[in-house]
Amino acid sequence: MRKEQIRLRGDFERMMEVVRRIDERLRRIEFMLKKITVDIEEEARSIIKYRLKELGVEMDITRLVLPDLEINLYGVAGDLCLVGEASVRAGYEVMEKLMKNLRKLRRLYPDKLRRIVIPVIYTSLAMPDLIKAAKKKDIWVLKATGDIVRPKLLDKIKKLA
C-alpha cells in the first residue's frame, strides 16, 4: 500500500509539472495574441488615416470607448464619421459585430455620428463570406496593401473633398 502511495505521489508531481508548463505556455500565447491585436489596430489606424488623406480627408483614427460600447476604429472630420473593426482574420461575424456596434452607437450616442458614416473593416485576411456580404452592404474592407472591397461611398467622398 505504501509503495503504491509513493508511486502515485510521484505520478501526481510529474503531472503537476506538466500542468505548470502548459500554464506558462498559455500565458505566453495570451500575451502574444494581445500584442497581435494591438498591432493590427495600430496598423489599421495608420493605414486608414493615410488612405483617407489620399481622398482629401484629414481624420485622426482612434479607439472609441464608451460605458457600454467599444469601437476599434473611430474618427470624425466635418460631416464624415468612420466606424470600424480591426481583425487579423475577418469573416462575416466581424461585419455583424460592426453593424451591431453601429446600431448601438446610433441608438445610444447619436452625437458621436455624422451625416456620412463610413463603415470599415481592416484585416490581414478577409474570408469569402465577409467579402460577399461587404459588397452587398457597401462596407469598406481593406488591408495594408489595398482595398478588398471599395464602397461607392469612397468615390463620392473624393468628389466632395
Over residues 19-71, the pLDDT tens digits come to 999 999 998 888 777 766 668 899 999 999 999 999 999 999 999 999 999 99
- Residue with grid cell 451625416, as numbered in its chain: 115
Query: Helix and strand tally (H, E) in the chain?
Result: 4, 6
For 49, counting Cβ atoms within 10 Å of its Cβ (0-12 exposed, 13-18 middle, 19+ buried), the class is: middle
* Contact of 142 with 120, CB cutoff 8 Å: yes
Predicted model pTM: 0.79
At 136-153, the pLDDT tens digits run 999 999 999 999 999 998
* Contact of 123 with 143, CB cutoff 8 Å: yes
Q: What is the pLDDT of residue 39?
A: 84
pLDDT of residue 75 exceeding 70, the answer is yes
pLDDT of residue 103 exceeding 80, the answer is yes
Dist CA 36 CA 43 (whole Å): 10
Q: What is the pLDDT of residue 30?
A: 83
Q: Domains in the chain and their CATH numbers?
A: 41-160 (3.40.1350.10)
